[in-house]
Amino acid sequence: MSLLGFAVLVSILTGEGESKADSAKLTVLMVAVEARLDESRGRDSKAKTFGKGIPVEDQAAFGKLPYNVFALLKSDKGSVSYGNEARFRINSSYALSVKPIGKARNGTIQAEIRMEEQREGGPARNAVISTSYLVPGDRLLLRVPQSETSEMVVSLCIRDS
């Protein structure tokens, strides 16, 4: 075995080749709501109604959408390390997976994000699939249309644990 081969083997066995980002734990926060337009209030109504259990930080993000009623579907929190996947069941039809894959020099976290829709009697299909750079602590909104006047909206937040 060459000296270089031995150095690589020692590096792998001792974990010295692993970057700090690869072993870091991240917290993933997920809040899913049904966002709808209550036309009885009028389309121009600026008043927003947020259901019980929607965190204030997420209310600020959801409030920018063109809807006026927000009902909580699911709120969940998980822990994940780089290269691993965190999965969240939103309801009987949708599941979200988040896989952090790296950290850029500017501190943003690159993650593969996939929301699957489980169809009755068939295989799951991708409703949303994205590779995104996320600012730790900021909210990313994923929108899935449900009807002309409503959407399922998922707020996703990743931060260092």
Amino acid in the structure at residue 102: G
23 vs 21: CA distance, rounded Å: 6
Scanning 15-122, the segments in alpha helix (DSSP H) are: 20-23, 56-62
3-state helix vs strand vs coil in the chain, percent to 5 = 15, 50, 35
Return the top range by mean pLDDT from 62-66, 121-125, 142-146.
Answer: 62-66
Cβ neighbours, 10 Å, residue 124: 13
Provide the pLDDT confidence category of residue 87 given band limits of 50, 70 and 90.
very high
- Mean pLDDT to the nearest integer, 94-102: 95
* 3-state DSSP assignment of residue 119: coil
Please report the pLDDT score of residue 45 as a whole number. Answer: 61
Question: Can you give 23-35 as a three-state secondary structure string?
Answer: HCEEEEEEEEEEE
Q: Which letter, b or e, does each residue of 134-161 get, where b requires 16 or more Cβ atoms within 10 Å of its Cβ?
A: beeeebbbbebeeeeebbbbbbbbbeee
Please report the pLDDT score of residue 134 as a whole number. Answer: 96
